[in-house]
Copies of this chain bind each other. A is one copy, B any other.
Amino acid sequence: MEISELGEFGLIDRLTKGLEPVNASTIKGVGDDCAVLRNRDTDILVTTDLLLEGVHFDLTYVPLKHLGYKSAIVNFSDVYAMNGTPKQITVSLGISKRFTVEHIEELFAGMRLACQLYGVDLVGGDTTSSRQGLVISITCIGEAPADKIVSRSGAKDTDLICVSGDLGAAYMGLQLLEREKVASAGQKDFVPKFQGKEYLVERQLKPEARRDIIEELDKAGILPTSMMDISDGLSSELLHICKQSDTGCRIYEDRIPIDYQTAIMAEELGMNLVTAALNGGEDYELLFTVPLHCHESIEKVPGVKVIGHITKPSLGCAMITRDGTEIPLRAQGWNPLAAQPEG
């Protein structure tokens, strides 16, 4: 059977079917942003990401330092998405011959900067040669009090659906970078046109993990009922939460937070803005649900917007457009196992 028939999540479901933990410390395995291991009253969170050159990044326009920074951030984001604090990372690198020591130092400088800013220790890894391109595998270990862990499966009917920041900008940044890459082909001294679109480029190349939101929620005394980070697109992530919580949802098109640079870029490229915001990945914003009674307190948390509510499962998952039409949500997010070149 072709792997593309199953897709990433189908393959994972199939491979991990019937896995039952044998260790008392294994609280949660496959299926959330992190695995959860219990050690007395503290939970250890573990998450890992594999980034391959040519699949996840293009070194034509991604500076190595930014790549290092982003590789670390995407893992921190998974730990925050469980309401934890990232504490350690291990970094494994596969390095092909075209990279020098200085290149790898640049990459590491980005990782070390991310670690420094987020208070994370780099504690180990593996370094080897690669025949084709750069391979980056990072595992992040985090901590959280056992009673504060937030998984994907706790959303309840009438809960409010919230997102932090704005959506679609990282995707538009990628489109912009790709456009300028094409325009630059064969030209010496090419100057890419990023003016007025700096935010999009930054969102794509140097995303941040929303530690601030986790801290603000804690300060406001709000413990989300479910949470995850938006790496594959709002639509795909919301379907994960609803599936794992056995609920439906309604979100409102006019509530989805979008930056004006994202809107201008969509216009320029003739793309549907809402599609980009729903399905564009790599924003690393937090998607979470809170009980209805938190309505007033959540409105006061800076950088958070309520975009809809959780429903009974029978109602399915849908978006209400500006003209009142209900359209079903589909997972059109980035599928890393579909439509890749021959290898």
Q: How far is the CA of A125 from the CA of B12 in the complex (A)?
A: 9
Closest to A125 in B: B48
* A336 smallest CB distance to B (angstroms): 4
Main secondary structure of the interface of A (DSSP, over half): mixed
Contacting residue for A123 out of B30, B93, B105, B336, CB 8 A:
B30
**Chain B residues, CB < 8 A from A22:** 119-121
* A115 smallest CB distance to B (angstroms): 8
Determine, out of A38-46, A305-313, A315-323, the stretch whose residues face the partner at the interface.
A38-46
* A69 smallest CB distance to B (angstroms): 15
B119 engages A342 (CB within 8 Å): no
For A1-14 the 0/1 string (1 means CB < 8 A from B) is 11101101001101
Beta-carbon contacts under 8 Å, A73-94 to B: 87-88, 90, 92-94
Q: How far is the CA of A234 from the CA of B168 in the complex (A)?
A: 53
Closest to A339 in B: B129
A-B contact pairs, 15 of them (CB 8 A): A3-B101, A12-B125, A12-B127, A39-B40, A39-B44, A46-B141, A50-B94, A52-B94, A54-B131, A55-B130, A94-B135, A96-B340, A127-B337, A129-B337, A132-B343
Interface size bucket, A side?
Answer: 35 or more
Q: How far is the CA of A12 from the CA of B108 in the complex (A)?
A: 10
Beta-carbon contacts under 8 Å, A40-75 to B: 40, 42, 44, 46-50, 52, 54-56
Contacting residue for A124 out of B29, B56, B133, CB 8 A:
B29
Q: Known A23-B119, A40-B40, A88-B46; judge A343-B101 contact (CB<8 A).
A: no
Beta-carbon contacts under 8 Å, A94-130 to B: 94-102, 104-105, 108, 112, 119-130
Closest to A8 in B: B127
A124 engages B34 (CB within 8 Å): yes
B29 engages A121 (CB within 8 Å): yes
